Chain A
Amino acid sequence: MTNDPDLPLIDRVLAGEQNAFADIVDRHKRYVFTIAMKVLLNKPEAEEAAQDAFIKAFHHLGTFNRQSKFSTWLYRIIFNTAITYKRKNKRVFQSIEHTIIAHPHEGEEILERTDKQKYVQQAMTKLNEADRAALSLFYLEEFSLEEIAEITNMAANTAKVRIHRARQRLGDELKTILNKEALTL
């Protein structure tokens, strides 16, 4: 993998330049946090899991074999970390005393979402964590099916099938939710 843009930064970190790792964090924190959110559905836990994943990646940077992209390796770490958090049902509520909350842009985006999107997000909670994460990665359109399979510990040829099945299930769940909404009107 000679065209991986993260390799020069990794080499600098391995040579002892710890501050170079901050650039790696900045580059990947959004997707790392997104994957954690899709698995955990809880912002404080996702934040904690994302931090842990970066710490683990730093400590094991020497074992990255460069057979795949660094991002794939890193996102696999956060996926496994988030799954471990989920299984332990770890409830760590991060103190917000020193946490700077993101700009209200996020609030505006929420207001702009249609009801259907809201219901789809609601239906997403019925999926298992791997399917939810795989589906989100698929629609971020930055990853190939092979990369999605590698990140979510699926076999390469089952990623597409599982993404299809997840969408079928969402379709069924959405129909159920919309029917319920119609009955309450």
Chain B
Amino acid sequence: MKILSQATDEKLLDYIDGTLCAPEAEEIETQLRTNVFLKTRYDELKQVHDALRMTKSESPSLNFTNIVMRRLQDNPMPSTLSTTNGIILLAVVLLAVAIATVLLSKGVFDNVTTPTIDLNQINLPKYFEQPSGSFYMDLKLMINMIIVFNLGLAFMLLDRAVLRPYFKRRMG
């Protein structure tokens, strides 16, 4: 029964909206003339429809625009990377990567390590276990890691500063 009345309500609303085809509209009109319950429900929905048709847009305060513009001046757009600055930064990063790669290929960092750090000489409070041993880092490995990091940074800059603005302009 609930499903039937739901379907009936939807038909009545379509009829009120004027979106029913002519034969269906005529069928509804015939039923409204003979079915008291249907007519009552139609009247209820029509009341709602007529009241809602009086809906008007509402007005904000008269100085609303001034308030918005003042807030924009107080909170300027967060700085974004301009295309020119992005390209310059990208060029600098790629230059650094190129220099590091050339130096690596020439063997400048071969067998070069950071100074050895002796953990025995570190004095920790008595509650902590005293570490032992020493360690150093291979500078060649460090430079490789820095190069990989800079390549990632370069791809990010390429995307933000060059590719996105270019494709956005093309789509616009």
Contact = CB atoms under 8 A, between A and B. Distances in A.
Interface in A88-109: 98-103, 106, 109
A34 interface: yes
A18 B70 CA distance: 11
Which residue of B56, B58, B168, B172 has the most chain A CB atoms within 10 A of its CB atom?
A: B58
Contact of A50 (B64, B77, B78): B64
Interface stretch (B46-54, B84-92, B105-113): B46-54
A100 B56 contact: no
| Interface of chain A, main secondary structure | helix
B92 to A, nearest CB: 25
Contacts, number: 117
Interface string A28-39: 011111100100
Which residue of B10, B47, B59, B61 has the most chain A CB atoms within 10 A of its CB atom?
A: B61
A109 B56 contact: yes
B9 A47 contact: no
A18 B72 contact: yes
B69 interface: yes
B62 interface: yes
A66 B47 contact: no
Given A55-B71, A140-B55, A167-B49, A174 B44 contact: yes
A136 B168 CA distance: 34
Interface in A113-164: 113-114, 116-117, 119-121, 135-136, 139-140, 164
Given A37-B58, A47-B61, A102-B61, A167 B45 contact: yes
